[in-house]
């Protein structure tokens, strides 16, 4: 078994097909041989039973046995061995041939205990004989006919050789057919193996396997093509994320480096920077470090796989989470007015991730609201809307607002990484909700709407 497993799959399939055909052919050949033997033996027995003799012939044979004379004629072909069997176990044979020993069943027929007896035995020369003994009209005497079993064995021997030859041809043909079927059937698997080895060797995920038919191999090929396409897309997204992150990090890092070099040069040369300029410089360094920390946090959030992007889901009071996010937004926009109307709504989500997403939404509203403006926040029937009264977003830019690192040309001068709305969309989708962004009904400002599945009351048993 271990050697069989070490063979290539193609060889194993060919061997299994050959073995299965060999067993089937052997079973058919053996069945044919046994059925033929039974039929030939039955025909021989019928021929023995059908032999006819008359009382005159029996008397003549008995008299011949008594006088050891010759019988003028026997009413049986020369192939028969003819004997008279007596109840005392003696027998008298005609036609000079090898003697056929008398069996107990033959004596029982002569003694009247049995009507007939049929058996196979060997004559004095060792030849196998089929013997049929039947009663006669004379008491104490039975009539015995025998024919050689070679009449059955010789055709069976020829049949056995023929079956052996045909079986050998069939097994060899089955082996060749099995090998051809294995090669043909495993051709798609060879292509798949070659593609996998090519991907492992070159990391080329653009390779595709031709799909033919609707069988299991075709399904496997489609799955492989889908897997490589998904891996290629994931690698492209990863490369794009790295490129975009590098681009976004370059600007604050360059500005931070410039400011730090100015401070270092001032210390090295002994030239003091004017207090107002130094204060502005330190404020700029602090803002750039805050922007870098925010960008790195957003990158960490988006770099995690979907399965690990959120903690355990629990029943969360959405109105409470919105209230907490509003408190943080008020600190960032103290000059703004926040009009909030929050109806109770309970959802199943990760509270920390949900709060982060809502803070991002409100931060955008604060960022684009005019000084002294109003931010309207409403939570009704599971739909949260946040509206600002800023410049709004052009219609041609709306399809891109949830893309990573995308920022409106008019907003590129403002702080931010362009990842906030991407995190919002991801968090809402993981909670089974939907998010959309569009212009306000009156054309002034932007409205962000989040709909999360839930209920106005918590489920029973919720703490």
Domains of the chain, with CATH numbers?
1-185 (no CATH), 216-303 (1.10.287), 308-455 (3.30.565.10)
Q: Which of 303-307, 373-377, 399-403 has the lowest mean pLDDT?
A: 303-307
Q: Which of 102-106, 188-192, 305-309 has the lowest mean pLDDT?
A: 305-309
Mean pLDDT throughout 427-453? 87
At residue 448, the pLDDT reads: 92
Q: Which of 187-191, 246-250, 405-409 has the lowest mean pLDDT?
A: 405-409
Q: Which of 298-312, 363-377, 448-462 has the lowest mean pLDDT?
A: 298-312
- Contacts of residue 84, Cβ cutoff 8 Å, sequence gap at least 6: 58, 61, 62, 65, 91, 92, 141, 142, 143, 144
Q: Which of 236-250, 252-266, 341-355 has the highest mean pLDDT?
A: 341-355
Q: How far is it, in rounded angstroms, from Cα 320 to Cα 355?
A: 10
Three-state SS for 275-314 is HHHHHHHHHHHHHHHHHHHHHHHHHHHHHCCHHHCCCCCE
pLDDT above 90 covers what percent of the chain?
11
Phi, psi (rounded to 5 degrees) for 116? -160, 165
pLDDT band, very low/low/confident/very high, at 69 (cuts 50, 70, 90): very low
Enter the DSSP assignment of 462.
-
Q: Which of 224-228, 419-423, 435-439 has the lowest mean pLDDT?
A: 419-423
At residue 70, the pLDDT reads: 45
pLDDT in tens, 140-158: 888 888 888 888 888 888 9
Q: How many helices (H) and strands (E) does the chain have?
A: 11, 13
At residue 338, the pLDDT reads: 92
Which pair of structure tokens corresponds to residue 460? Answer: 């029973």
At residue 35, the pLDDT reads: 92
pLDDT at 391 over 50: yes
At residue 307, the pLDDT reads: 42
Higher pLDDT, 368 or 296: 368
- Write down the mean pLDDT value for the chain: 79
At residue 377, the pLDDT reads: 93
């Amino acid at each position: 078994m271990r050697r069989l497993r070490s063979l290539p799959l193609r060889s194993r399939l060919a061997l299994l097909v050959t073995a299965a055909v060999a067993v089937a052919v052997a079973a058919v050949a053996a069945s044919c041989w046994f059925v033929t033997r039974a039929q030939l033996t039955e025909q021989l027995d019928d021929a023995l039973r059908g032999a006819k003799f008359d009382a005159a012939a029996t008397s003549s044979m008995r008299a011949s046995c008594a006088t050891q004379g010759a019988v003028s004629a026997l009413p049986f072909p020369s192939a028969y061995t003819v004997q008279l069997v007596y109840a005392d176990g003696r027998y008298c044979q005609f036609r000079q041939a090898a003697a056929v020993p008398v069996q107990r069943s033959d004596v029982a027929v002569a003694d009247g205990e049995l009507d007939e007896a049929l058996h196979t035995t060997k004559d004095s020369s060792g030849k196998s004989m089929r013997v049929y003994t039947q009663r006669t009209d004379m008491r104490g005497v039975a009539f015995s006919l025998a024919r050689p079993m070679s009449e059955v064995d010789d055709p069976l021997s020829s049949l056995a050789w023929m079956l052996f030859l045909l079986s050998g041809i069939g097994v060899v043909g089955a082996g060749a057919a099995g090998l051809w079927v294995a090669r043909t059937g495993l051709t798609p698997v060879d292509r798949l193996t070659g593609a996998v080895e090519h991907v492992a060797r070159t990391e080329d995920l653009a390779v595709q396997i031709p799909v033919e038919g609707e069988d299991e191999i075709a399904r496997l090929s489609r799955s492989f093509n889908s897997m490589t396409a998904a891996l290629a897309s994931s690698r492209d997204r990863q490369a794009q994320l790295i490129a975009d992150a590098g681009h976004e990090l370059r600007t604050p890092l360059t500005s931070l480096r410039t400011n730090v070099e100015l401070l270092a040069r001032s210390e090295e040369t002994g030239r003091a920077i004017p207090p107002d300029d130094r204060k502005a410089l330190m404020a700029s360094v602090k803002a750039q470090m805050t922007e870098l920390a925010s960008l790195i946090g957003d990158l960490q959030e988006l770099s995690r796989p979907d399965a690990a992007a959120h903690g355990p889901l629990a029943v969360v009071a959405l109105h409470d989470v919105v209230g907490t996010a509003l408190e943080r937004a008020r600190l960032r926009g103290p000059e703004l007015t926040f009009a909030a109307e929050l109806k109770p709504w309970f959802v199943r989500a990760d509270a920390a991730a949900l709060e982060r997403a809502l803070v991002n939404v409100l931060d955008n509203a604060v960022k684009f609201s005019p000084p002294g403006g109003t931010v309207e926040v409403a939570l009704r029937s599971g739909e949260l809307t946040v509206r600002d009264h800023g410049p709004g977003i052009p219609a041609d830019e709306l399809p891109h607002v949830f893309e990573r690192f995308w920022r409106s040309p008019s907003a590129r001068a403002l702080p931010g990484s362009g990842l906030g709305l991407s995190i919002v969309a991801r968090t809402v989708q993981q909670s089974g909700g939907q998010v959309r962004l569009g212009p306000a009904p009156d054309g002034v400002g932007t409205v962000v709407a989040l709909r999360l599945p839930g209920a106005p009351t918590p489920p029973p048993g919720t703490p």
